[in-house]
Structure 1
Amino acid sequence: MQTEKKNLEGLGGWLILVGISLFVSPIRLWIEMTQIYQEMKSNGSWELIMSGEADMHYPGIKALILGEIAINSVQIIACIVLIILFFMKKKLFPIVFIAAAAFNVIFLFVDSVVASSIMPDEFFAEEESGKEIARSFMYLAIWGTYMLVSKRVKATFIH
């Protein structure tokens, strides 16, 4: 029994995939944010939104954009915290991981609902939002379950 536990300790097995996703997630999020807001700045919509002019046509659009920026920034910071907890093998890691993944699903859903209510005629990304919500939910379902039932997780995150 002790030998089996010793074999399961450490950042191996399926945890390698979790570790890779922890590194990829903040980079992907940063790139996506940068591309979206660069495009908004280059086509002039950023100035319209930030000046408040766009609120005449789309009430709440400025709050939505600023909220998205704030929450995406918090998610990047959360990923960095998760990376630290992961490599320090902290007992808190599995719970924080599940909470962050659940928060992401909720955020994507709420963001999609709010965006479609602000821009009902022009909300062009509903299908893409649905796919992203489904992907995030599957990530939570698979890796959240793994965090809860895996013997390796229980043997690794003990500090």
Structure 2
Amino acid sequence: MSFLPADQQEPAHTPLRLGVSGLGGWLILIQIGLYVTLIQLVIQINQYTIPSFESETWNALTSKGADLYHVLWKPAILFEAVFNLGMFVMTIFCLAFMYMRKRIFPKLMIVYYSVSLLGGIADYALVQTISSDVGLDLDNSLRDTFRAVVTCSIWIPYFLRSERVANTFLR
């Protein structure tokens, strides 16, 4: 309540219209993508990463003299395990920061997509080197790397230029 006469009172503060904001629009696809990635990582960790460390598989790939032995299997398996677990944790952080509408979220997503691409390239390079000696199928690895390139080329500019992103993540 103001004690000034009506003609001397400051006008009521009206909030600025920000334009589009909220977790709608294209951000729905980001949410879906993060949840799908989370599910894919759980499946990948359960189907490939954990079984790779079982003694029979580990020995078949990393023991000299074994039919499938290659000197890079051990670093490749360890890299994929650390990378997948790291991406799992990062995906959870991204989801949490998105729903808290933290200012850091757009930058975190740019880092997330970039790390995903760089990890895919590193994984492809490791598997490429091993496959030339062992005869592995690289179609999935190459497809995943291409998908990461396309994802980065679409979503990084979106996070840098989107009005919705700028108006939503303010805290």
TM-score by length of 1: 0.86
Q: Deviation at 1:71?
A: 1.0
Segments of 4+ moved more than 3 angstroms: 37-42, 54-57
Q: Which piece of structure 1 moves more, 149-158 or 128-137?
A: 128-137
- Return the offset for 1:147: 0.6
Distance 2:21 2:65 in 1: 54
Name whichever of 69-78 and 23-32 sits farther off.
Answer: 23-32
Task: Judging by fraction of residues, say which structure has more helix.
Answer: 1
Deviation at 1:102, TM superposition (A): 0.8
Counterpart contact for 2:131–2:138, Cα < 8 Å: no
Aligned counterpart, 1:79: 91
Partner SS state of residue 59, structure 1 = coil
* Residues 54 and 147 of structure 1: CA distance in aligned 2, closer, same or farther (over 3 Å): farther
**Contact 2:120 2:145 (C-alpha < 8 Å) held by counterparts:** yes
Asked whether the equivalents of residues 115 and 123 of structure 1 are also in contact (C-alpha less than 8 Å), the reply is no
Structure-2 residue corresponding to 1:149:
161
Separation of aligned partners in 2, 1:30 and 1:83: 16
Which structure exhibits the higher relative contact order, with contacts defined as CA atoms closer than 8 Å and separated by 6 or more residues? 1
Check whether the contact 2:97–2:105 (CA below 8 A) recurs between aligned residues: yes
- Cα deviation 1:39-68 (Å, max 9, x = unaligned): 6578x423434xx41587311211210121
Q: What is the identity, as a one-letter code, of the residue corresponding to 2:116?
A: N
Of the candidates 108, 120, 125, which is equivalent to residue 120 of structure 2? 108
Identical-pair percentage: 27
In the alignment of these two chains, the number of paired residues is 155
Is 1:91 aligned with 2:103? yes
1:53 aligns with 2:63: yes
The offset of 1:120, in angstroms, is: 1.5
Could you tell me which runs of 5 or more consecutive residues in structure 1 were left unpaired when the two chains were aligned.
none
Structure 2: which 5+ residue stretches go unaligned?
Answer: 1-14
Preserved CA contact (<8 Å) 1:22 1:79: yes
Q: Secondary structure at the match of 2:132?
A: coil
Give the structure with higher Rg (CA): 2
Alignment of structure 1 residues 1-150 onto 2, 5 Å: 2-3=16-17, 5=18, 7-37=19-49, 40=52, 44-49=56-61, 52-54=62-64, 57-150=69-162
8 Å CA contact 2:52, 2:77 repeated in 1: no
Q: 1:117 Cα deviation (Å)?
A: 1.5
